[in-house]
Amino acid sequence: MTSSGKPVAFAVAAAILAATPLSLRAADYPDREIRVVVPFAAAGTTDIVTRILFNEISRSLGRNIIIDNRPGAGGNIGLDQVAKSAPDGYTLVVADPTTSLPANVTLFPDLKFHPVRDLTSAGGFGFTGAAVIVTNSLPVRSLADFVALARSRPKQLLYGSTCNGSPGHLSGELLSRLLGIDTVHVPYRNGAQGTTDLLTGRIHFWVAPIPTRLEQVREGQLGRVAQFVHLAGNPVARPLGHRGLLVHRTWAHSLTQVLRRGGLLGSSR
């Protein structure tokens, strides 16, 4: 993806039980099926990227890799399941290391896991762009139009995301604060439901990964008033984050080698 795209953070993670001895040597890994949890709904950007990526890794390794969608609570349902799984490197999770994953520590004070204590990074795998997508019933054609309208209608513009604490939710809140507008968040169970409401004008905008709304924008069904590289630090002008791989600490080196063999990471030096 070019530098004009907003990086949406993703990560692959596995449970950490550092005190538990491992029964397999790194050279033996993987010797059976791997499960990759996607803590968001099917057909979203995270799910699509994960399936494409691990389909190729599965072919390269000659091992079956199951993609398991466990949406809810800003990704915490899937993350919690992985955090409680055996620390053997066979249960991974695709997460968001720069927005919802760290933010959920404060958004959900009763979390049973901690991303710093229980997960560790194993590498990065790319970016995707995001934009402010608006319903066609909104009389705006630029970001300036959008801001002017939002400021004239405080608490009247509704924006969607896949759930509370999701990257879309946090991006929408950050965007609103940076632009000095007062908007209302509407959480959905999945992106398809939100897209329907955006198309019909029941909600007004969505800070969405570009792939999830690209066809509607191209066909003129939705509008795009801005595309971002970053929302933090400089109003709507910088990268939003980066993707990374998280994995059970004890298995970090072993999984890194596996991902290199699968073609995901560069050769070790």
pLDDT in tens, 165-195: 787 888 898 889 888 899 999 999 877 889 8
Beta carbons of 1 and 159 less than 8 angstroms apart: no
- Look up the CATH number of the domain holding residue 187: 3.40.190.10
pTM of the entire structure? 0.67
Average pLDDT estimate for 110-123:
73
Same domain, 83 and 155: no
Spatial separation of the C-alpha atoms in residues 48 and 87, rounded to whole Å = 26
Q: Tell me the residue range of the domain where 199 lies.
A: 130-228
CATH number, residue 104:
3.40.190.150
The encoded tokens of residue 3 equal 């530098």
- Nearest Cα to 213, choosing from 201, 200, 199? 199
Q: Please report whether residue 113 resides in a domain.
A: yes
Residue 236: partners with Cβ closer than 8 Å, 6 or more residues away = 143, 175, 178, 179, 226, 228
78 located within any domain: yes
**The total number of structural domains that make up the chain:** 2
User: Where is pLDDT greater, at 30 or 5?
Assistant: 30
Q: In terms of domains, do 155 and 222 share one?
A: yes
Task: For residues 141 and 224, state if they share a domain.
Answer: yes
Do 153 and 58 share a domain, yes or no? no
Instruction: Give the model confidence (pLDDT) of 129-169 as tens digits.
Output: 678 999 999 999 888 899 999 999 999 999 999 888 787 88
Query: Both ends of the chain: CA-CA distance in Å?
Result: 26
Strand ranges (E), the chain: 11-14, 34-38, 65-69, 91-95, 120-123, 130-135, 158-161, 184-187, 205-209, 222-228, 245-247
> Does one domain contain both 251 and 118?
yes
Query: Are 119 and 249 contained in the same domain?
Result: yes
Inside any domain, residue 5: no
Q: What pLDDT shows up at residue 101?
A: 73
Decide if 236 is inside a domain.
no
58 & 25 share domain: yes
pLDDT for position 120: 62
Task: Give yes or no: residues 38 and 113 share one domain.
Answer: yes
- The answer as to whether 102 is a domain residue is yes
Shared domain check, 207 and 245: no
Q: Quick check: is 215 in a domain?
A: yes
Same domain, 97 and 166: no
